[in-house]
Homo-oligomer: A and B are copies of this chain.
Amino acid sequence: MIRDLRKVSEKLEGTAENHDKLKLWLRLLTCTIKVENLISNRLRAQFDTTLPRFDVMAALARSEGDLTMGELSKWLLVSNGNVTGVVSRLVKDGLVERRRAKDRRIQYVRLTATGRRQFKAIAAAHEGWINQMLDPLSDGDVRSLMKQLSKLKGVH
Protein backbone atom coordinates (compact mmCIF):
# COMPACT_ATOMS: atom_id res chain seq x y z
CA MET A 1 0.00 0.00 0.00
CA ILE A 2 1.40 3.38 -0.98
CA ARG A 3 0.64 6.09 1.55
CA ASP A 4 2.21 9.47 1.94
CA LEU A 5 1.28 9.76 5.59
CA ARG A 6 3.98 11.81 7.21
CA LYS A 7 3.95 14.64 4.70
CA VAL A 8 0.15 14.84 4.65
CA SER A 9 -0.11 14.90 8.44
CA GLU A 10 2.59 17.54 8.83
CA LYS A 11 0.96 19.75 6.24
CA LEU A 12 -2.44 19.41 7.87
CA GLU A 13 -1.16 20.13 11.38
CA GLY A 14 -0.02 23.53 10.13
CA THR A 15 -3.35 24.63 8.64
CA ALA A 16 -6.05 26.63 10.40
CA GLU A 17 -9.02 24.86 8.83
CA ASN A 18 -10.75 21.95 10.54
CA HIS A 19 -9.31 18.79 9.05
CA ASP A 20 -10.05 16.63 12.11
CA LYS A 21 -11.76 13.79 10.25
CA LEU A 22 -9.07 13.67 7.56
CA LYS A 23 -6.40 13.62 10.28
CA LEU A 24 -8.23 10.82 12.07
CA TRP A 25 -8.45 8.84 8.83
CA LEU A 26 -4.71 9.25 8.27
CA ARG A 27 -4.03 8.12 11.83
CA LEU A 28 -6.27 5.07 11.40
CA LEU A 29 -4.45 4.26 8.19
CA THR A 30 -1.00 4.74 9.77
CA CYS A 31 -1.82 2.43 12.68
CA THR A 32 -3.26 -0.24 10.39
CA ILE A 33 -0.33 -0.12 7.97
CA LYS A 34 2.23 -0.25 10.78
CA VAL A 35 0.62 -3.29 12.40
CA GLU A 36 0.12 -5.04 9.04
CA ASN A 37 3.75 -4.42 8.06
CA LEU A 38 4.98 -5.81 11.38
CA ILE A 39 2.77 -8.88 11.04
CA SER A 40 3.86 -9.38 7.46
CA ASN A 41 7.56 -9.20 8.48
CA ARG A 42 7.09 -11.65 11.34
CA LEU A 43 5.13 -14.11 9.20
CA ARG A 44 8.01 -14.07 6.75
CA ALA A 45 10.80 -14.28 9.35
CA GLN A 46 9.26 -16.83 11.69
CA PHE A 47 7.05 -18.92 9.41
CA ASP A 48 8.39 -18.23 5.91
CA THR A 49 4.85 -17.27 4.83
CA THR A 50 2.85 -14.21 3.74
CA LEU A 51 -0.34 -12.39 4.78
CA PRO A 52 -2.33 -13.61 1.73
CA ARG A 53 -1.27 -17.22 2.49
CA PHE A 54 -2.21 -16.80 6.16
CA ASP A 55 -5.58 -15.29 5.21
CA VAL A 56 -6.42 -18.12 2.81
CA MET A 57 -5.47 -20.69 5.46
CA ALA A 58 -7.61 -18.80 8.04
CA ALA A 59 -10.62 -18.86 5.71
CA LEU A 60 -10.20 -22.62 5.16
CA ALA A 61 -9.57 -23.34 8.85
CA ARG A 62 -12.70 -21.48 9.89
CA SER A 63 -15.09 -22.74 7.21
CA GLU A 64 -17.41 -25.56 8.23
CA GLY A 65 -16.58 -27.81 5.28
CA ASP A 66 -14.59 -27.55 2.05
CA LEU A 67 -14.91 -24.29 0.15
CA THR A 68 -15.23 -23.80 -3.59
CA MET A 69 -12.74 -21.39 -5.10
CA GLY A 70 -15.66 -18.98 -5.65
CA GLU A 71 -16.70 -19.09 -1.98
CA LEU A 72 -13.10 -18.63 -0.88
CA SER A 73 -12.71 -15.56 -3.11
CA LYS A 74 -15.94 -14.11 -1.73
CA TRP A 75 -14.78 -14.48 1.88
CA LEU A 76 -11.46 -12.92 1.07
CA LEU A 77 -12.94 -9.99 -0.87
CA VAL A 78 -10.35 -10.32 -3.63
CA SER A 79 -10.45 -11.40 -7.23
CA ASN A 80 -10.50 -15.12 -8.06
CA GLY A 81 -7.21 -14.72 -9.93
CA ASN A 82 -5.24 -13.70 -6.85
CA VAL A 83 -6.71 -16.48 -4.73
CA THR A 84 -5.88 -19.05 -7.43
CA GLY A 85 -2.20 -18.15 -7.29
CA VAL A 86 -2.05 -18.26 -3.49
CA VAL A 87 -3.91 -21.60 -3.38
CA SER A 88 -1.60 -23.11 -6.02
CA ARG A 89 1.46 -22.30 -3.93
CA LEU A 90 -0.19 -23.72 -0.79
CA VAL A 91 -1.01 -26.91 -2.71
CA LYS A 92 2.60 -27.16 -3.89
CA ASP A 93 3.72 -26.89 -0.24
CA GLY A 94 1.34 -29.66 0.83
CA LEU A 95 -0.74 -27.37 3.05
CA VAL A 96 -3.93 -27.30 0.95
CA GLU A 97 -5.56 -29.89 -1.32
CA ARG A 98 -7.93 -29.48 -4.25
CA ARG A 99 -10.79 -31.86 -5.00
CA ARG A 100 -13.14 -31.96 -8.02
CA ALA A 101 -16.88 -32.08 -7.26
CA LYS A 102 -19.20 -34.47 -9.14
CA ASP A 103 -20.01 -31.44 -11.24
CA ARG A 104 -16.49 -31.30 -12.57
CA ARG A 105 -16.63 -27.56 -13.24
CA ILE A 106 -16.55 -27.01 -9.47
CA GLN A 107 -13.38 -27.44 -7.44
CA TYR A 108 -13.23 -27.68 -3.67
CA VAL A 109 -10.24 -26.72 -1.53
CA ARG A 110 -9.38 -27.62 2.05
CA LEU A 111 -6.43 -27.69 4.45
CA THR A 112 -4.40 -30.87 4.67
CA ALA A 113 -3.57 -32.24 8.16
CA THR A 114 -0.17 -30.55 7.86
CA GLY A 115 -1.89 -27.33 6.80
CA ARG A 116 -4.24 -27.41 9.80
CA ARG A 117 -1.32 -28.00 12.16
CA GLN A 118 0.70 -25.18 10.63
CA PHE A 119 -2.26 -22.80 10.69
CA LYS A 120 -2.86 -23.42 14.40
CA ALA A 121 0.75 -22.56 15.21
CA ILE A 122 0.71 -19.40 13.10
CA ALA A 123 -2.68 -18.24 14.43
CA ALA A 124 -1.48 -18.60 18.03
CA ALA A 125 1.68 -16.60 17.27
CA HIS A 126 -0.40 -14.00 15.38
CA GLU A 127 -2.69 -13.42 18.35
CA GLY A 128 0.36 -13.12 20.60
CA TRP A 129 1.83 -10.43 18.32
CA ILE A 130 -1.45 -8.50 18.29
CA ASN A 131 -1.71 -8.65 22.10
CA GLN A 132 1.84 -7.35 22.35
CA MET A 133 1.42 -4.59 19.76
CA LEU A 134 -1.89 -3.39 21.24
CA ASP A 135 -0.58 -3.65 24.80
CA PRO A 136 -0.40 0.17 25.28
CA LEU A 137 -4.22 0.18 25.15
CA SER A 138 -6.06 -0.28 28.46
CA ASP A 139 -9.18 -2.47 28.70
CA GLY A 140 -11.18 0.77 28.75
CA ASP A 141 -9.44 2.01 25.59
CA VAL A 142 -10.22 -1.28 23.85
CA ARG A 143 -13.92 -1.12 24.81
CA SER A 144 -14.21 2.52 23.81
CA LEU A 145 -12.40 2.00 20.48
CA MET A 146 -14.64 -0.97 19.65
CA LYS A 147 -17.75 1.12 20.38
CA GLN A 148 -16.63 4.14 18.38
CA LEU A 149 -15.37 2.13 15.41
CA SER A 150 -18.65 0.21 15.32
CA LYS A 151 -20.29 3.50 14.28
CA LEU A 152 -18.40 3.13 11.00
CA LYS A 153 -19.82 -0.33 10.28
CA GLY A 154 -22.35 1.01 7.80
CA VAL A 155 -19.88 3.29 6.02
CA HIS A 156 -20.80 3.78 2.37
Contact A35 B25 (CB under 8 A): yes
| Contact A2/B141 with A31-B152, A32-B28, A130-B22 known, Cβ cut-off 8 Å | no
Q: Which residues of B contact A19 (CB under 8 A)?
A: 127
Cβ distance A85 to chain B, nearest Cβ, rounded Å: 11
Complex CA gap A82/B2 in Å reads 9
Task: Kindly state the interface size class of chain A when it binds its partner.
Answer: 35 or more
Q: Which residues of B contact A35 (CB under 8 A)?
A: 25, 28, 152, 155
Any chain B CB within 8 A of the CB of A104? no
Contact A22 B131 (CB under 8 A): yes
Contact B142 A24 (CB under 8 A): yes
Cβ distance A78 to chain B, nearest Cβ, rounded Å: 5
| Contact A23/B146 with A2-B77, A82-B2, A152-B133 known, Cβ cut-off 8 Å | yes
